[in-house]
């Protein structure tokens, strides 16, 4: 029995290895889309995680990972957990784009706003060619990391406030995962106007923000005696919880920052919860409202979907 089980494991390994070899047959000079464009999303995640660690050939073509400290500083996640979190939102975005805009493969310019260490943008490499992808961020160190770990796509440092270099009506999709959950009202209004400028008619903005329950999370954090390092500032913000909840329920923009946490960028970065009514009123001045997804079973943050008419 042990011998049969070992033989079965060997067959499974050979089958897995053979599949990887077949995918790489066209050569390592090909783009990820040319090699992996036909694989499904689940196998794509495997290739970028376990497969990457197992097969050196994949390491020569697929994006790598920065050191754990860099990963954790981004959003408190690292390793496969961080990639799976990004992969989940990537799948949700693809579904939204297909429903409201069309085939993602036809997109000519896709912008990852707040690209961080490129954990999200890598998933699009099987859907479009690398020149389609632009990762932009105001933090120079993560742009350096992205260029070092991902040889595909374009990574560019931007100022904290617009404009960007993109031409009017030149972008098909802008997405921002856990970015508008940190922008001051001034910064976020300027960026919404900028995305209204650069999106093509029919182009989409898909962004996330903290939900109403984040205000309650800050209150609960005041009783946490062993907080994670990225949550130590939460007890110091939104202190008058009931007032902030009422402000959110009345369609108000909820933003507070903490200088000890955000330092010299605290004038435009902090923690932000944006209600649907505010989105419809303010974002609607530049883009058409499509959807507001408030469901933690879909993503940890609320999803805002806008379209350029």
Per-residue pLDDT of the chain (309 residues; tens, 9 = 90+): 666 665 555 555 568 999 999 999 999 999 999 999 999 999 999 999 999 999 999 999 999 999 999 999 888 899 999 999 999 999 999 999 999 999 999 999 999 999 999 999 999 999 999 999 999 999 999 999 999 999 999 999 999 999 999 999 999 999 999 999 999 999 999 999 999 999 999 999 999 999 999 999 999 999 988 888 889 999 999 999 999 999 999 999 999 999 999 999 999 999 999 999 999 999 999 999 999 999 999 999 999 999 999
Do residues 37 and 102 share a domain? no
Q: Is residue 234 in some structural domain?
A: no
Query: In 24-139, where does DSSP find H-type helix?
Result: 32-36, 41-48, 50-54, 56-59, 68-75, 79-100
Q: Are residues 47 and 151 in the same domain?
A: no
Judge if 203 and 246 occupy the same domain. yes
Rounded Cα distance between 218 and 299, Å, is: 19
Verify that 264 and 126 share a domain, yes or no: yes
Which CATH number characterizes residue 116's domain?
Answer: 3.40.50.150
Domain membership flag for residue 105: yes
Counting the structural domains of the chain, the total is 2
Cα angle value 191/307/166 (rounded, 5°):
45
* pTM assigned to the model: 0.94
Q: How far apart are CA 135 and CA 157, in angstroms?
A: 9
Q: Please give the residue range of the domain that contains residue 12.
A: 2-59
Dmax (CA) of the chain = 69
């Amino acid at each position: 029995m042990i011998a049969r089980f070992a033989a079965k494991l060997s067959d499974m390994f050979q089958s897995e290895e053979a599949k990887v070899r077949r995918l790489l047959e066209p050569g390592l000079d090909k783009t990820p889309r040319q090699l992996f464009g036909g694989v499904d999303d689940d196998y794509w995640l495997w290739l970028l995680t376990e497969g990457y660690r197992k097969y050196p050939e994949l390491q020569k073509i697929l994006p790598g990972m920065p050191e754990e400290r860099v990963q954790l500083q981004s959003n408190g996640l690292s390793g496969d957990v961080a990639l799976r979190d990004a992969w989940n939102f990537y799948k949700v975005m693809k579904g939204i784009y297909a429903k409201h805009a069309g085939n993602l493969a036809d997109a000519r310019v896709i912008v990852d706003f707040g690209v961080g260490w490129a954990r999200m943008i890598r998933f699009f490499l099987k859907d479009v060619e690398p020149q389609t992808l632009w990762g932009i961020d105001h933090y120079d160190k993560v742009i350096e990391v992205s260029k070092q770990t991902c040889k595909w796509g374009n990574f560019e440092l931007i100022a904290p406030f617009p404009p960007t270099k993109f031409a009017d009506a030149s972008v098909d999709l802008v997405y921002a995962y856990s970015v508008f959950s940190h922008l001051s009202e001034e910064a976020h209004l300027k960026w919404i106007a900028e995305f209204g400028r650069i999106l093509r008619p029919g182009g989409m903005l898909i962004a996330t923000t903290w939900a109403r329950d984040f205000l309650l999370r800050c209150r609960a954090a005041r009783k946490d005696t062993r907080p994670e390092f990225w949550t130590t500032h939460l007890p110091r913000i939104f202190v008058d919880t009931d007032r902030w909840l009422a402000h959110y329920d009345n369609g108000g923009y909820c933003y507070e920052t903490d200088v000890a946490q955000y330092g010299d960028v605290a004038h435009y970065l902090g923690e932000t919860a944006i209600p649907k009514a505010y989105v419809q009123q303010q974002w609607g001045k530049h883009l058409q409202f499509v959807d507001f997804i408030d469901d933690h079973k879909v993503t940890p943050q609320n999803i805002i979907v806008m379209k350029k008419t």
